[in-house]
Amino acid sequence: MAITNLTIMEEFILLGFSEYPNVQGFLFVLFLFIYISILLGNGLIIIITNVELALQTPMYYFLGNFSFVEICYTSNILPRMLVNIWRQKRNISLLSCAAQLCFFLMLAVTESFLLAVMAYDRYVAICKPLYYPIIMNQRICVHMVLGAWVIGIPFFIGQTYQVFSGPFCGSNKLNHIFCDLPPLLRLACGDTSGDEFFLYVDCVLFALLPFLMILMSYIRILSTVLKIPSTTGRSKAFSTCSSHIMVVCLFYGSGLIAYFQSISSSSGSIEKIFSVFYTIVTPMINPMIYSLRNKDFITAMKKLFSKWEDKE
């Protein structure tokens, strides 16, 4: 009987940025600052969109849910990163790794479909303004948000189980900042072609499909806006979409580059840098984009702050 070099893994070592030992303190402060900024920025959006009556519209309802997803999304990754850097102990159990992977995939898909829902909301508002209150009623909005949350749950629970039901062999060092599919598949034993196939299916169903929905919405929006006779009207219509377009470009641009980089190459440093950008930096930038480019939101924020000052 042939003896195989098969090790039963009980935990992984998340290497993160351990190859740069001299900057660990700087990285801890940087990531802590980013995490606090994400919590404050997105938390402020959630509070204002729920408190201010002027923002009780479908657009801001979706934005509040999007900000909540951003907080959950980064909270699944950043706290463990901070603990690992602080303690210099980077081990993670298989169960914790599986949970992190599953939540990451589900939250990323929720964010992707929420962006598609927000694009559809802008399409209805601009292309069918008379029917907007009927089409985007409260029941429809709630169903859209629930759909975005649950659409990927069965698929990713099954996929996570499939990845972790197989054996891992060789090194238990995961050269990444969190438990993600591509680096995990590199440590798996045997034939991983099935898992790699489902990884491409993920990209098509849960990234490319929502992106095409967003693209179709904006093609229709552009066609309608160009028919508006006044320059002021066109400018106003475009301004309601500009923040969303910027967030879409950041999310899909960095995410797709990171994933296709992970699939096509095993260059750890480049892969980790792109992963940091789309999992950590983008959620920090998004609240700035929505708040600084939105006059209604700025007005509501000033109004809320003035109320707090009056109470003091």
Give, for all 312 residues of the chain, the pLDDT tens digit: 344 444 566 789 998 888 888 999 999 999 999 999 999 999 999 998 888 888 889 999 999 999 999 999 999 999 999 999 998 888 999 999 999 999 999 999 999 999 999 999 999 999 999 999 999 999 999 999 999 999 989 888 988 988 888 888 777 888 889 998 888 888 888 777 777 777 778 778 888 899 999 999 999 999 998 888 887 777 877 777 888 888 898 888 877 776 666 655 555 677 788 888 888 988 999 888 887 767 777 887 777 777 766 665
Q: Is the dihedral of CA 178, 183, 188, 191 positive or negative?
A: positive
All domains of the chain, ordered by start, with CATH? 12-302 (1.20.1070.10)
Query: What is the reported pLDDT for 1?
Result: 38
Please report the pLDDT score of residue 227 as a whole number.
Answer: 85
Q: What is the 3-state secondary structure (H, E, C) of the chain?
A: CCCCCCCCCCEEEECCCCCCHHHHHHHHHHHHHHHHHHHHHHHHHHHHHHHCHHHCCHHHHHHHHHHHHHHHHHHCCHHHHHHHHHHCCCEEEHHHHHHHHHHHHHHHHHHHHHHHHHHHHHHHHHHCHHHHHHHCCHHHHHHHHHHHHHCCHHHHHHHHHHHHHCCECCCCEECCCCCCHHHHHHHECCCCHHHHHHHHHHHHHHHHHHHHHHHHHHHHHHHHHCCCCCHHHHHHHHHHHHHHHHHHHHHHHHHHHHHHHHHHCCCHHHHHHHHHHHHHHHHHHHHHHHHHCCHHHHHHHHHHHHHHHHHC
What's the token pair of residue 94? 């298989």
What's the token pair of residue 223? 């066609």
Q: What is the pLDDT of residue 206?
A: 87
d(CA 192, CA 185): 7
**How much is the pLDDT for 8?**
64
Which pTM was predicted? 0.90
What pLDDT shows up at residue 2? 42
Q: What pLDDT score does 165 carry?
A: 84
> What per-residue confidence (pLDDT) applies to 289?
86
**What span, in angstroms and rounded, lies between the C-alpha atoms of 148 and 98?**
22
> Residue 60 has which token pair?
């801001």
**What pLDDT sits at residue 230?**
80
pLDDT value of residue 291:
77
Q: What is the pLDDT of residue 301?
A: 79
